[in-house]
Amino acid sequence: MKTYDFSKGKRGAVLPLPPGKERITIRLDRDILDYFRDQVERAGGGNYQTVINNVLRDYIEGKKSVPGLEDTLRRVIREELRKVS
């Protein structure tokens, strides 16, 4: 039977966090996690947590448009332009 010596072991994360990152606990719906894990698998690998982070960043930075907003704005602008023509 093998024995292991943990007398010099250190408690905490095995890998240090990269600068600017913070370890948290978050509860997400299983179907959301399944979606992101599937996306990573289809892309050939990677880290689903990084993908979730990127999606949240895109949302915060306004890179994702609100569905239908562009069409609505175009319609309103056309209507207003007709009024002044």
pLDDT in tens, the chain (85 residues): 899 998 888 877 678 888 999 989 999 999 999 999 999 999 999 999 999 999 999 888 887 666 677 788 888 888 888 888 7
Query: pTM, whole model, 2 decimals?
Result: 0.59
What is the residue extent of each domain of the chain?
Answer: 26-63
Q: Residue 40: what pLDDT?
A: 94
Residue whose pair of structure tokens reads 């913070």 in the numeric block:
22
Distance of CA 36 to the CA centre of its chain: 9
Query: From CA 17, how far away is CA 1, in angstroms rounded?
Result: 35
CA distance 15 to 21: 12
Cβ distance 48 to 39 under 8 Å? yes
Interacting residues of 55 by C-beta distance below 8 A, sequence separation 6+: 36
d(C-alpha 79, C-alpha 74), whole Å: 9
